């Protein structure tokens, strides 16, 4: 393993030499994959599914309206729109378009990508809209008038930054953003929280809270629940530890005295706490309810709303006006309960709906200040989404039903368990044909394994069309590092223990072969971001298990990740390369440093984005360059836009997906026909260019997590 790095120049995101190298690699990949006669039909079929007009337009309620953000073939960058419930029930609702992002992009000659909006309550007449340039995490913020459907000329405006902003009232916001030296943490997120009044310069807004430069971020928000109006500020010490304070009207800070690894928030008269370690006699991953005022006065009596066991974990929860909807997972299958607080005694419990086996049920939206309405999505690997609307205690109606997007004839779903190296049982899902009848076949194994992210059943039309319809098998591995069994499952693969996640994934790969589902030469692996680190580990630690590997927007250089973009915020997950105690295990984890000249590696495709301001494109660039230098089979594709998602619109998404599946299909089925796999590209001289041209608020994003696009 060498510490020399001849490819640091590829970390210059927009450097002329680096971009010329990228252009050369993109051309090679286009020639190898996109020039294939089957590529364009595959891409068009994927694009058709992404643009389909009969997709479910998921919404969030804001007052009398349901808000939705929508992309299709006509609206490439999308439209923000709203409608009423009675219209939404129709097959073709009438929508009021609020903002046409395509028109705005053309008018301003900027590749705007929708970043979401926060609507002012209770009037719902103004919004804070976020727009990013070509899909980056950093965004501009502009105030929008919902009655005139125009930006407010003299309204709140924040230049491009990783901004945190929240309404206090019609004329005031909490804001954390880049206001000059000292205003950002080392991770690039807000360090200060200011109270900013309309019509005053942002730089003169009063600072109400300040975090440390080494923290991940500072934040502030206003709870506008009628009768329970409160202000809160806090700091994220790292991704899993933080401090929350009640901000009194006189500026006094009152610490919410929970462990720093617990999440806590106020809802009406309750304080809701989820500890990541044992606390008050309750295990990690519990959900506890306190009386908020009594807690501040020192009372620690609580109601345990959920207590996990070795097979069951908390998946999420949402409030309606009078109830809490609790989502839990048992062996990664979802269960739903309704909990109702009572004046005395334990909270009342009852089921909400029946949950089909091996399916995912999730609360899409509620309106906790007004009603007990809920919107619930039910789907499965082979079951398109159905959107239900109901009221707790009443009947539910089916609002929308997505059609089948791919042929499921002969396909089934099964859950199995592999045994990892240390004896841990690792669940995984298999979606595909009956291999007892067909024999081993091309199989795609997907994993993530980090940041408490759980991989649950869902309907994937792209994977269905590109892989399952063609006879392939898709596998989801629920490895350690994720949240499938609560905080302990995540913590088992933290920092120096990260290889446990790698061993879990390898164990699933071996189990697939033992069960006759596939063979090593027909088994491919795919992962993105933190999952890209997992793919790098498979490539360099277990190359004999796979016939091809794809790493998307990957994290690969574990000795420099903390110096690149948002990387400093992930040291709690991986360790700190500047800490001599952590550096040995990080160097050992680092796929970039484990590449050897005399090992045989399966073909690999590395993809990234020039506009990814979360995981630096240098990770993928440098790894591709090193593999090429040593003569190993590698292709590389870098989208010039798209941010961490890798795609800013459906055209880019379809192209990227077609590249991925064309690469895998070619390499995993080459034994079945005359097509050969990808061969090594010509080597490049080291060090030189190759030639010419929630329902509850979330903090900064982990490498692979991303906030969903929401309607308002």
Residue 35: exposure state from Cβ atoms within 10 A (0-12, 13-18, ≥19) = exposed
How are strands ordered across the β-sheet holding 192-197?
164-169, 172-176, 192-197, 206-210
In degrees and rounded to multiples of 5, residue 16 shows phi and psi of -60, -45
Q: For residues 66 and 83, is the Cβ–Cβ distance under 8 A?
A: yes
The sign of the CA dihedral 557, 563, 569, 574 is positive
- Name the E strands within 307-450: 312-319, 324-330, 333-340, 348-351, 359-366, 373-380, 383-391, 396-401, 412-419, 425-432, 443-446
**Contact between residue 146 and residue 119 where contact means Cβ atoms under 8 Å apart:** yes
Q: CA-CA distances (angstroms) from residue 276 to 490, 593, 676?
A: 10, 33, 49
Task: Check: CB of residue 641 under 8 Å from CB of residue 111.
Answer: yes
Q: Write down the catalytic residue from 388, 593, 616, 644.
A: 644
User: How many other CB atoms sit within 10 Å of the CB of residue 687?
Assistant: 14
Measure the CA–CA gap between 616 and 649, rounded to whole angstroms.
20
In the block, tokens 């998946």 appear at 315
Active site residue 644: yes
Q: Count Cβ neighbours within 10 Å for each residue of 248-281 and write b for 16 or more, e otherwise.
A: eeeeeeeebebeebbbbbbbeebbbbbbbeebee
| Active-site position among 318, 379, 529, 657 | 529
Those residues whose C-beta lies under 8 Å from the C-beta of residue 341, and which sit 6 or more positions away, are 270, 289, 324, 347
**Following DSSP, what letter does each residue of 526-594 receive, concatenated?**
EEETHHHHHHHHHHHH-GGG-SEEEEES----TTTGGGSGGGGGGHHHH--TTSTTTHHHHHHH-HHHH
- Is 529 in the active site? yes
What span, in angstroms and rounded, lies between the C-alpha atoms of 702 and 160?
Answer: 20
Residue 607: C-alpha distances to residues 23, 44, 624, 639, 687 (Å): 13, 20, 10, 8, 21
Catalytic residues: 529, 644
């Amino acid at each position: 393993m060498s510490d020399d790095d001849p490819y640091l120049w590829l970390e210059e995101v927009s450097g002329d030499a680096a971009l010329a190298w990228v252009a050369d690699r993109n051309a090679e990949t286009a020639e190898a994959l996109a020039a294939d006669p089957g590529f364009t039909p595959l891409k068009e079929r994927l694009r058709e599914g992404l643009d389909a007009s009969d997709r479910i337009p998921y919404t969030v309620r804001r007052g009398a309206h349901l808000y939705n953000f929508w992309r299709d073939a006509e609206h490439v960058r999308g439209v923000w729109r709203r409608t009423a419930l009675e219209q939404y029930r129709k097959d073709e609702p009438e929508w009021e378009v609020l903002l046409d992002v395509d028109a705005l992009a053309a008018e301003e000659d900027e590749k705007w990508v929708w970043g979401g909006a926060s609507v002012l309550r209770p009037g719902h007449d103004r919004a804070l809209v976020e727009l990013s340039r070509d899909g980056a995490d950093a965004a501009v913020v502009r105030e929008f008038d919902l009655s005139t459907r125009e930006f407010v000329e003299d309204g709140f405006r924040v230049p491009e930054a990783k901004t945190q902003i929240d309404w206090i009232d019609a004329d005031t916001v909490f804001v954390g953003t880049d206001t000059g030296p000292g205003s950002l943490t080392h991770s690039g997120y807000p360090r200060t929280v200011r109270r900013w009044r309309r019509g005053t310069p942002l730089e003169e807004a009063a600072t109400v809270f300040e975090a440390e430069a080494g923290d991940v971020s500072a934040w502030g928000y206003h709870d506008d629940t009628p009768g329970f109006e409160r202000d809160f500020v806090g700091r994220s010490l790292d991704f899993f530890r933080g401090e929350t304070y009640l901000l009194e009207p006189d500026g006094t800070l009152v610490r919410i005295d929970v462990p720093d690894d617990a999440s806590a928030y106020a809802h009406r008269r309750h304080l809701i706490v989820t500890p990541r370690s044992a606390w008050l006699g309750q295990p990690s991953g519990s959900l506890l309810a306190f009386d908020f005022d009594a807690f501040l006065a020192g009372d620690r009596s609580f109601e345990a709303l959920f207590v996990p066991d070795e097979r069951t974990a908390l998946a999420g929860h949402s409030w309606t006006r009078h109830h809490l909807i609790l989502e839990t997972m048992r062996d990664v299958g979802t269960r739903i309960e309704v909990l109702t607080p009572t004046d005395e005694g334990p909270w009342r419990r009852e089921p909400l709906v029946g949950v089909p086996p091996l399916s995912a049920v999730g609360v899409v939206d509620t309106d906790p200040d007004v009603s007990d309405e809920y919107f619930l999505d039910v789907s499965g690997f082979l079951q398109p989404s159905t959107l239900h609307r109901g009221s707790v205690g009443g009947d539910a109606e089916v609002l929308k039903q997505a059609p089948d997007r791919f042929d499921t004839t002969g396909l089934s779903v099964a859950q199995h368990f592999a045994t990892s190296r240390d004896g841990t049982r690792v669940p995984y899902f298999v979606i595909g044909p009956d291999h007892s009848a067909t024999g081993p076949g091309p199989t795609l194994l997907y994993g993530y394994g980090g940041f408490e992210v759980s991989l649950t059943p869902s309907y994937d039309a792209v994977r269905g069309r590109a892989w399952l319809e063609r006879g392939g098998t898709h596998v989801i591995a629920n490895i350690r590092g994720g949240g499938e069994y609560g905080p302990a499952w995540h913590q088992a693969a933290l920092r120096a223990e990260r290889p446990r996640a790698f061993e879990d994934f390898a164990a699933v790969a071996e189990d697939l072969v033992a069960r006759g589902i596939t063979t090593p030469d027909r088994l491919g692996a795919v992962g993105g971001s933190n999952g890209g680190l997992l793919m790098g580990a498979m490539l360099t630690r277990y190359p004999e298990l796979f016939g091809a590997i794809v790493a998307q927007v990957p994290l690969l250089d574990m000795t420099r990740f903390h110096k690149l973009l948002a990387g400093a915020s992930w040291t709690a997950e991986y360790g700190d390369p500047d800490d001599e105690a952590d550096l040995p295990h990080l160097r050992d984890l680092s796929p970039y440093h484990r590449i050897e000249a005399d090992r045989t590696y399966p073909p690999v495709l590395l993809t990234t984005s020039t506009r990814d301001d979360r995981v630096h494109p240098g990770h993928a660039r440098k790894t591709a360059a090193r593999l090429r230098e040593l003569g190993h089979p590698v292709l590389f594709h870098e989208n010039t836009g798209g941010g961490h998602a890798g795609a800013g619109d459906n055209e880019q998404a379809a192209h990227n997906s077609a590249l991925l599946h064309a690469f895998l299909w070619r390499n995993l089925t080459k034994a079945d026909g005359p097509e050969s796999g990808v061969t090594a590209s010509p080597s490049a001289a080291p060090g030189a260019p190759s030639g010419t041209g929630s329902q509850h608020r979330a903090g900064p994003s982990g490498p692979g997590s991303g906030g969903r696009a929401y309607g308002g």
